[in-house]
């Protein structure tokens, strides 16, 4: 059973959804031609914010960690999509090595690893799980709630290849975002496919590259469908030389915050939106919502106190923040019984395979829902996002899910462009 | 709700299923390499017979007519598979013309056409339905039970292309098996994709070509998995010069029937099977189970009476029978509450997308279940055939469905080979 979503069903969003529905054949044709030219990452999840007047991606994750949150009914869809991805990338593969994050005590995350390996195995691949965690020195069995088990094995470098004792994989799938840097053991692999490529890891990746590519994708798409690109695109700016501890870059931050807030105010006036503009300040590299601030006035980023500075200075795995992205805040208007809900769309290859809502009671609708200490309840989509009902009006469930899937695929396409452009020179 | 299947769960079949499960990675790898070399038909359905000791395809249909019988839960799987097919064949396509069978009063069939066009439209294609039926001289709306509607439109040849008034398609999908010959209007199309190709139609196609290709596929697969190919392959023979009305070819028929029955008897002895061997005599070209006989002794095909001869002499659309295929009969051991059940597996591109059982009360387990006047009840598979549970023993539902999917894909691969080999010289 899926609770009813009390989304604001008035204003420009219905118009946007209707435009998307009306243009479905053009949109799908356009995506087909885009995927002829660009290679999607192996998998991807996209956090969307639905503001009623605006539907936009706010975060694109190339190491999705919530496969266990998807509706089990769409497992066959995941399996079929992985089959396609493997056929395209490494049809001759028999053995696949999955490398998860290092945290061995996060049960939710480990259930994701179980689910992901189940999907991969259903395509007929032999799958084993190799850990970068130095504490895993021998095969380690982890028991999970519900009787599931996970076997983590130590990685062994052998003849220029990454292996596990007795297991030489053709393909290596990272579910580890490399926040702590690129481990030496992953470098210069001999005839092994690494998915996604190293530049997808946070040791190299920058959100600003992603959203610059998204600007382009959103502009092209908006022209196709005949909408203002702002309706699907959060504005952003970057500050390149920030050191929160040393109070460097404060002025750059403040002036960019101010610029963006003015831009948003103009748009709110244009569309008659009676909301208070805000921006999100976050690290340009890194994930897990550490180092994130909601800002409604430039003065708030001047003279941060020690606690605030400490919080902003580092993200996951101690990665230091030196570059900051300031992104237009998109308030969420979706809620389930008073609780804020943020859709997360999952894709494998270029196919939407499901998603879920992050349902969170303790947060405001102008805050990030992916933050440390945040306890969300995942609510699987009842719908697979690919079956719009053109005989119904915009705003009905299959049509809203289709719109989610379209916007998420735009972010996926931006990720494809981003990875192309950040490919290191040989 | 899906009734329990009282399949015989002993004997060699469990062994066969277990072999298939144990070899799943090898099987999927093998299929991947096969599909690198061979192009699957756009879609296909395969009738299987499950004899307990043997699981084999008995009919491979390149114009499947039961999409309405599939489990609605697997609709997303169909849509995703069509997306892949379109991307491979004609990524630039926007408009698709669907050509159904001519019978405009068969409600079950027309519901299939509705379902098929729904699947196609969900991929973002503009779909219209053009009829070869000369009675359709203007756009004709047909009302179906449940409020569904179908618009049949007359075909127009224009500048070497097949069109509908105001609709110029890039791709044409046949759901008409061309039993009555290749209509002139389909010849020499200018830059339009015809799916499947003309040689898939019964005007050209021969079952014997298909089963000759299947012999090869089954032999390779059996070597891979380590089984006797007979366990998945019905033996067959052909008689090329038969005229039932004129009593020509009776001797060829009788000697081949005799030969096959002996072969089956030997195999039954080898495996300790206490069944009466039988063969199915049917037209080498044609469908719909007309012109089909169950034969347990060669004497039965000698001196057929007038009624029997008339019944065998023609198949659908008056197509005359001149070549006959004699196929090893595979009794069905699957039943639902005393009724005989025959699995039909549906595929799009090279993906299994579901299936259903033909459940029939009035027939014996050694008779064809696809015969004129036959009223079967379709029972959608509860499972998508792609999610075997390797932790369970053979014979459980997901594993049996997986075995169905594997054998059906072997027939699909045989169809791919058959279409390659029957491609007309330019």
A8-63 tens-digit pLDDT:
444 556 788 889 999 999 999 999 999 999 999 999 999 999 888 899 999 999 99
How many residues in total does chain B contain?
426
Secondary element (H or E) of residue A158: strand A156-158
Place A354 in a pLDDT band, splitting at 50, 70 and 90: very high
Provide the pLDDT for residue B2: 36
Place B245 in a pLDDT band, splitting at 50, 70 and 90: confident
| Pairwise pLDDT comparison (B369 vs B247), residue with the higher score | B247
pLDDT per residue as tens digits for the range B318-362: 666 678 899 999 988 777 777 788 899 999 999 999 999 988 776
Strands A335-336 and A324-328 come out as unpaired
Task: State whether B81 and A80 contact (CB < 8 Å).
Answer: yes
For chain A, state the CA radius of gyration: 21
Provide the pLDDT for residue A329: 95
Is the pLDDT at A371 greater than 70? The verdict is no
Question: Which stretch of A278-282, B215-219, B244-248, B334-338 has the lowest confidence by average pLDDT?
Answer: B334-338
Residues of A in contact with B388 (CB under 8 A): 122
Task: State whether B33 and A386 contact (CB < 8 Å).
Answer: no
Count helices and strands (H / E) in chain A.
8, 18
**Which of these, A228, A225, A233, A221, lies nearest to A33 by C-alpha position?**
A221
- In chain B, the residue whose alpha carbon lies closest to the alpha carbon of A352 is B80
Distance of CA A356 to the CA centre of its chain: 12
CB–CB of A62/A200 below 8 Å? Answer: yes
Provide the pLDDT for residue A345: 97
- In chain A, the residue whose alpha carbon lies closest to the alpha carbon of B354 is A76
Neighbouring CB atoms inside 10 A of A398's CB total 17
Handedness of CA A79, B412, B266, B370 (dihedral sign): positive
Is the pLDDT at A4 greater than 50? The verdict is no
Q: Which span out of A244-248, A359-363, B413-417 was modeled with the highest average pLDDT?
A: B413-417
CB–CB of B97/B130 below 8 Å? Answer: yes
Residues of A in contact with B33 (CB under 8 A): 91-92
Which of B24, B25, B80 has the CB atom closest to A81's CB atom? B80
| Pairwise pLDDT comparison (A421 vs B335), residue with the higher score | A421
Interatomic CA distance for residues A179 and A200, integer angstroms: 10
Q: Give A397's contacts (C-beta < 8 A, 6+ positions apart).
A: A382, A383
Question: Which stretch of A135-144, A289-298, B45-54 has the lowest confidence by average pLDDT?
Answer: A289-298
Is the pLDDT at B370 greater than 90? The verdict is no
**Which of these, B192, B174, B170, B193, lies nearest to B183 by C-alpha position?**
B174
Place A105 in a pLDDT band, splitting at 50, 70 and 90: confident
Structure tokens given for B316: 């659908």
Task: State whether A80 and B351 contact (CB < 8 Å).
Answer: yes
Which of A29, A76, A94 has the CB atom closest to B25's CB atom? A94
> Got the DSSP string for B130-175?
EE--TT--S-EEEE-GGG-EEEEEE-EEETTEEEBTTB--SEEEEE
Task: State whether B36 and A91 contact (CB < 8 Å).
Answer: yes
Interatomic CA distance for residues B30 and B52, integer angstroms: 25
Min Cα separation A134/chain B (Å):
31
Strands A279-283 and A236-239 come out as unpaired
Is the pLDDT at A362 greater than 90? The verdict is no
Determine the Cα angle at B143 with ends B142 and B148, to 5°: 115
Q: Which span out of A7-21, A129-143, A291-305, B324-338 was modeled with the highest average pLDDT?
A: A129-143
Residues of A in contact with B76 (CB under 8 A): 74, 77, 384, 386-387
Provide the pLDDT for residue B287: 63
Provide the pLDDT for residue A306: 81
pLDDT per residue as tens digits for the range B81-135: 999 999 998 899 999 999 999 987 889 999 999 999 999 999 999 999 999 999 9
Provide the pLDDT for residue A2: 37
What string of H, E and C letters represents the secondary structure of B346-410?
EEECCEEEEEEEEEECCCCCCCCCCCCCCCCEEEECCCCCCCCCCCCCCCCHHHHHHHHHHHHHH
Interatomic CA distance for residues B348 and B173, integer angstroms: 12
Interatomic CA distance for residues A211 and A260, integer angstroms: 15
Min Cα separation A123/chain B (Å):
7
Distance of CA A359 to the CA centre of its chain: 17
CB–CB of B53/B13 below 8 Å? Answer: yes
pLDDT above 90 covers a percentage of chain A that reads: 62
Task: State whether B124 and A27 contact (CB < 8 Å).
Answer: yes
Please give the model's pTM, rounded to 2 decimal places.
0.92
Structure tokens given for A360: 């969170």
- In chain A, the residue whose alpha carbon lies closest to the alpha carbon of B126 is A25
Which of A86, A122, A388 has the CB atom closest to B386's CB atom? A122
Cα B319 to Cα A240, B180, B204, B244, B349, distances in angstroms: 77, 6, 11, 13, 29
Provide the pLDDT for residue B4: 46
Place B388 in a pLDDT band, splitting at 50, 70 and 90: confident
B326 strand-pairing partners? B237, B281
Half-sphere exposure of A43 (CA within 13 A, CB side): 27
ipTM of the prediction: 0.89
| Pairwise pLDDT comparison (A309 vs A418), residue with the higher score | A418
Is the pLDDT at A288 greater than 60? The verdict is no
Residues of B in contact with A87 (CB under 8 A): 32, 35-36
| Pairwise pLDDT comparison (B260 vs A179), residue with the higher score | B260
Task: State whether B94 and A25 contact (CB < 8 Å).
Answer: yes
Provide the pLDDT for residue A318: 62
Structure tokens given for A81: 């999509």
Min Cα separation A56/chain B (Å):
22
| Mean of all residue pLDDT scores within chain B | 88
Q: Which span out of A10-19, B7-16, B28-37, B276-285 was modeled with the highest average pLDDT?
A: B28-37
CB–CB of B280/B332 below 8 Å? Answer: no
Min Cα separation B23/chain A (Å):
9
Residues of A in contact with B72 (CB under 8 A): none
Place A280 in a pLDDT band, splitting at 50, 70 and 90: very high
Interatomic CA distance for residues A395 and A374, integer angstroms: 29
B265 strand-pairing partners? none
Provide the pLDDT for residue A10: 47
- Residue A139: is it exposed, middle or buried by C-beta count within 10 angstroms (0-12/13-18/19+)? middle
Interatomic CA distance for residues B163 and B143, integer angstroms: 24
pLDDT above 70 covers a percentage of chain A that reads: 90
* Mean pLDDT score, B154-166: 95
A99 strand-pairing partners? A174
List the end-to-end C-alpha distance of chain A, in Å, as a whole number.
Answer: 51
Min Cα separation B384/chain A (Å):
7
Interatomic CA distance for residues A122 and A81, integer angstroms: 11
Task: State whether B83 and A351 contact (CB < 8 Å).
Answer: yes
Place B364 in a pLDDT band, splitting at 50, 70 and 90: low
Provide the pLDDT for residue A370: 57
Give backbone dihedrals phi and psi of A110, rounded to 5 degrees, phi first: -65, -30
Structure tokens given for A126: 């032999």
Neighbouring CB atoms inside 10 A of B333's CB total 23
Structure tokens given for A305: 């106190």
A-B CB pairs within 8 A amount to: 90
Is the pLDDT at B10 greater than 70? The verdict is no
Min Cα separation B117/chain A (Å):
13
Residues of A in contact with B401 (CB under 8 A): none
């Amino acid at each position: 059973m899926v609770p009813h979503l009390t989304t604001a069903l008035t204003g420009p969003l219905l118009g946007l959804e209707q435009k998307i529905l009306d243009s479905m054949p053009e949109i799908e044709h356009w995506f087909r031609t885009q995927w002829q030219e660009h290679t999607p990452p192996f998998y991807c999840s996209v956090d969307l914010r639905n503001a009623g007047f605006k539907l936009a991606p706010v975060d694109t994750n190339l190491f999705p960690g919530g496969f266990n949150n998807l509706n089990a009914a769409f497992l066959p869809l995941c399996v079929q999509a992985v089959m396609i991805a493997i056929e395209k990338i490494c049809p001759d593969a028999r053995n696949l090595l999955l490398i998860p994050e290092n945290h061995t005590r996060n049960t939710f995350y480990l259930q994701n690893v179980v689910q992901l390996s189940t999907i991969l195995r259903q395509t007929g691949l032999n799958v084993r799980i190799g850990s970068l965690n130095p504490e895993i020195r021998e095969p380690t069995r982890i028991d999970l709630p519900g009787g599931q088990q996970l076997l983590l094995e130590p990685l062994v470098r052998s003849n220029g290849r990454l292996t596990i004792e007795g297991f030489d994989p053709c393909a290596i799938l990272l579910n580890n975002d490399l926040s702590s840097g690129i481990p030496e053991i992953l470098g210069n692999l001999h005839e092994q496919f690494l998915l996604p490529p190293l530049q997808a890891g946070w040791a190299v990746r920058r959100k600003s590259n992603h959203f610059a590519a998204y600007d382009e994708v959103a502009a092209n798409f908006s022209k196709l469908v005949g909408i203002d690109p702002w309706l699907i695109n959060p504005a952003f700016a970057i500050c390149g030389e920030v050191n929160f501890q040393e109070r460097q870059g404060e002025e750059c931050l403040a002036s960019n915050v101010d610029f963006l807030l003015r831009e948003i105010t103009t748009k709110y006036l244009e569309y008659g939106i009676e909301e208070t503009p805000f921006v999100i300040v976050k690290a340009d590299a890194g994930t897990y919502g550490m180092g994130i601030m909601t800002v409604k006035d430039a003065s708030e980023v001047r003279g941060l106190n020690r606690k605030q500075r400490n919080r902003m200075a580092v993200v996951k795995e101690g990665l230091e923040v030196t570059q900051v992205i300031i992104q237009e805040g998109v308030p969420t208007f979706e809620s389930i019984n008073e609780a804020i809900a943020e859709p997360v769309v999952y894709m494998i290859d270029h196919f939407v395979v499901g998603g879920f809502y992050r349902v969170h009671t303790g947060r405001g609708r102008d805050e990030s829902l992916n933050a440390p200490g945040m306890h969300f309840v995942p609510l699987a989509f009842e719908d697979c996002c690919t079956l719009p009902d053109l005989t119904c009006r915009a705003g009905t469930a299959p049509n809203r899910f289709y719109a989610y899937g379209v916007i998420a695929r735009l972010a996926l396409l931006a990720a494809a462009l981003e990875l192309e452009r950040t490919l290191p020179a040989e």
